[in-house]
Amino acid sequence: MIDPRLPRELRAWRAWEVARRFPDGVRDPAFRALVQRVDGGPVHRCPPVALLTDGEAAFSRMLSAIASARLEVLLETYILRDDTLGISVQQALVAAAQRGVRVCVLADAVGSLATHDAFWRTLEAGGVTVRQFHRFWHHPFEALRRDHRKLLVIDRDVAFTGGMNIGEEYGSSIRRRRDAWRDTFVEVQGLVARELAAVFAEGWDRARGPVLPGLEYVSWSDAVVRRPVAGGSLSGARALQARVQWQLAQQLGRRRDRRRGRRVRREATTAGDEAPGVVVLDPRPGRAQREMLAVLAALVGGARERLWITTPYFAPPTRALRLLARAAQRGVDVRLLLPSERTDVPIVRHAAHGAYQDLLADGVRIWEYERATLHAKTLVVDGYVGLVGSSNLDFRSFWLNAECNVLLFDEACGHSLEVAYQHDLSGSREVTIASWAQRTRGHRWLDATARALRWAL
């Protein structure tokens, strides 16, 4: 158990130390308790999770889910393009709104800057409520703080999250298009979808969206608990249903107002020690950032056999590199899957390169993905615990972005993540100490410079 009196900067280190001592690592029942202690939220019961590693298949399922919505569609994304895929999503959202479904769209103002105004006007004319996160004239002094979450929640019963933005490069199969991006989404069901709706509501509140009925969450803007408004933007039977759902939720479990602006979560939804479960990790500026770092450190400490990481932007603090090195030194198979030259941000790739020499010397194995542009953010430990979401391993995700991730305690999903990882390695090139020593002097200089500036990338 982490002592809450410890200085905040030491909590990630302490989480690693505690997890390292568990006899069965991440499979030890105490590991779930540690995660709950760090994050403060429940481990939800987890119906079967669908791992979506092909963009074409993922968006096919999401469009079908929107078409089946009866009450509500909540869509939050960093990039919403007005290309062919974006238009298909636009049409599905408008069709849902016109059949009486409440449809809310939240897009980041910077990430979606290239999307033309006509796209947003078409959504609004079709009955969709649209907000853009941190528009410059709303928050001129917080331009660096972005909404990097990717969420689709249908009727608060089915939800999708992961790393995919809405654009043709994400929604195309790499088997058919060489310009496609490799990314990962998951589809989850049940009570966890309701918590993901509360994640949406937090950013929606910050973007000045109307209060969503039937949810309780901590407002980003004023740090007070937002409770459902009687009726809200609903009327008739749907308003009554929202009020009934609220009353049932109150009976299921007592509310917990978490410290430092934490969202309200219900303890009564927790899963048993052996049952598949899922934890929502949704850091944003001012809330849950240190907790996210502590959970990541605990996962490294709890690894006993395998720790396989995929990330497109790898520029973590030096202490994180030390934790990976220590895991490799005690015999854990630590692997990093990172971008090749087919990256969209070369400077961040050089920042990762600045850490290769030490990692390789300590026994960490590194591959660079060559089949497509890598954008997936996943982690799997011992084929049992998996992490899928929007967080990169860099300073921007750790401190400036609002992110959303799901931590999955599920043997089947862990196995699927390992199978997908091995398939990705077949389209990758392993970096060895011998090959790394052959890079040019100019390459070395760029690596060292980018690594020194990693906090600003």
CA distance 457 to 393: 12
Q: Do domains 8-47+271-456 and 50-252 have the same CATH topology?
A: yes
Q: Are 262 and 198 in contact (CB under 8 A)?
A: no
Residue (of 326, 261, 317) closest to 287 by Cα position: 261
Handedness of CA 421, 38, 197, 123 (dihedral sign): negative
Decide which of 1.10.3720.10, 3.40.630.30, 3.40.50.2300, 3.30.870.10 is the CATH code for 50-252: 3.30.870.10
Residues in the chain: 457
SS3 54: coil
SS3 130: strand
**Could you tell me which CATH number the domain at 8-47+271-456 has?**
3.30.870.10
Other Cβ atoms closer than 10 A to 88: 15
The domain spans of the chain are 8-47+271-456, 50-252
Q: Are 211 and 229 in contact (CB under 8 A)?
A: yes
Residue carrying the six token digits 């408004």: 229
DSSP state of 398: I
Residue (of 165, 162, 166) closest to 53 by Cα position: 162
CA distance 181 to 179: 7
Residue (of 182, 180, 151, 155) closest to 80 by Cα position: 151
Residue carrying the six token digits 């009353």: 247
Other Cβ atoms closer than 10 A to 130: 20
Residue-level pLDDT at 428: 97
- pLDDT of the chain along its 457 residues, tens only? 444 444 444 478 899 999 999 999 999 999 999 999 898 888 998 878 999 999 999 999 999 999 999 999 999 999 999 999 999 999 999 999 999 999 999 999 999 999 999 999 999 999 999 999 998 877 788 888 999 999 999 999 999 999 999 999 999 887 777 778 999 999 999 999 999 999 999 999 999 999 999 888 878 877 677 776 644 444 445 544 544 444 444 444 333 343 345 566 554 445 566 788 999 999 999 888 999 999 999 999 999 999 999 999 999 999 999 999 999 999 999 999 999 999 999 999 999 999 999 999 999 999 999 999 999 999 999 999 999 999 999 999 999 999 999 999 999 999 999 999 999 999 999 999 999 999 999 999 999 999 998 888 7
